[in-house]
Structure 1
Amino acid sequence: MHVITRSCVLFFWMHTLTFVKSQEPLPDCTLQDFLNGPLFDSNFDTTGLEASYVAGRQIRVSCSTGYSGFFLLFCIEGKWQSRGTKCKPQQCPVIHVSNNVQVIGDPEEANVGNVVRFSCKSNSEILSGSQEIYCNENGEWSGEAPTCNAPLDCEQPPPLANGDTKNSMKFSYRHNERVEYICQNYYTMQGGPFKTCNNGEWTGEIICLRPCTVDEEAMRGRNIRFRYGRKDKLYSTHGDVIEFSCTRGRPVGSLGMRPMCVDGVVHLPSCQ
């Protein structure tokens, strides 16, 4: 505590400030008093704060995720005094886009969690970049603003293993043009049958799955034969089931007598 004394010196009053050690300790400041007091903001993050603080203690209270601002709290004679600002929603910076980009949402006042979507104003242009971005908890956009440009042409389409294009190829293709593929005999197409020119790149997954071949020599060593027919060799497409029977003995193992052709591989059974 302190004491102020007054004395007259040469016709003037003089003030003297004297600090006197208090006989009683100054009261603490409690966290509960702060939570119930006028300084508290519901958007403060009070995680890790202690239950009470001694006189003269200073603490910093930050705002919760998604909000900006903080408070410096001072414990003075059992009461909290503060310096700082109230918590405000965290905002992302203004997004700047070119005139040919359509913006859906508010790119100037975006709080955490707000989403902004983009499209091209002209149907003859395509969007390069993300169709939507959002304001994250750090006050940053999840991506860059996209641009709108005229689509690029494609060069000749890529070759297909064990397949080919159905029609003759051109030197270049416009955006959204398609090319049809076919697989060789006995090969099975997965995906397709088209690849599409998409802004300078060919899109579309196509695979020609291989057939399986079973001949007499492979069957003889396993004491098996085709269950139906007397063929010496068989071509079977992907996904087909081939049925066998024993020439002598009984089937062994757990494969069974009806294996399936899977992309050129068939696990033949055996008999003993």
Structure 2
Amino acid sequence: MTQLGYIAILVLWACSTALAVSCGNIENGRVKPGSFFHRRKRTFECNAGYIAENDNNRIECTSSGWSPVPRCILQVCPHPPDIDLAEIVSGEKAEYQEGDVVHYRCYPGYTLAGPERITCSGEKWTPPPKCLAPCIITRQQLETKKLLLSNGRRRTVLIQSDQTMEFLCGEHSDLKIPYFVKCVDGHMDLPTCISGTGEKCGRPPTIENGDITTLSLKEYAFGSSVEYRCQHYYIIEGERKSYCYNGIWTNEPVCLEPCVITQEDMRSHNIDLKWASAQKLYVSHGDFVEFKCRSSLLPNSSNNYRVQCNVGQIPYPQCT
């Protein structure tokens, strides 16, 4: 920096300081150094945890003081959101200020999905968690479906969400589809045990943007299976395994396309990535990405800046 530039900054700082002295200090805030936009008019900024009343931070130093009177009010959040099948175990209070944290806990048997703690930030709470329900498999369900548990017996069991259980087939059944089943928030599709003619199958079907994990054979016995995988960044949808059943392969999975975020796309919407910097970014189907406006541009209040990739498509926000 040149000596002249340094002197200019000192002059701006001195002018702002002089105005603050003549018009008085701002409680829980300060005049922004160098914030000259018209004669004696200035802008001010509030301290951390405070916000300008009515979002108005432009003031003028007059003979009778600041006009309008600058006010920095405490940022507060509403009561933390009520989470079904959960309770707040710490941090509960009558009023919540910027930076306050509350801690949730799910009821016994339920699985917490998301953060245990949420924070008061910018007069709202960070995203809350969810409590996922377990799955209950009864003895009667197992008998009806001719299924056995992995130990070869039948009894009522409870499986927590996101956990996987292996099943076996019972009497007079040759094949189960699929072998392993996952509990998803209280829902679990039990496998199906079948018996058939024993007819063999030819080569398994190919899938776009994916492959089978083993070498493909010319012929497969009844009940055989192959497992599929997707290319990098692609998300598999459906059962990973396909089974040979009476000469026909059961439904194969599909590979869902990722989203490709480029500098050109972001430049056309006047946005940047909030948490990363890259010339090109791949986002898998179902994942979220957060943007921010480019410098000096304002967000459009109708836009959501945290968006989700959906089969190769992403709804870019726009800044103006």
TM-score range, shorter chain: 0.3 to 0.5
* TM-score between both structures, scaled by the size of structure 2: 0.39
Higher relative contact order (CA 8 A, sep 6+): 1
* TM-score between both structures, scaled by the size of structure 1: 0.46
The structure with the largest helix share of the pair is: 2
Return the index of the structure with the highest Cα Rg.
1
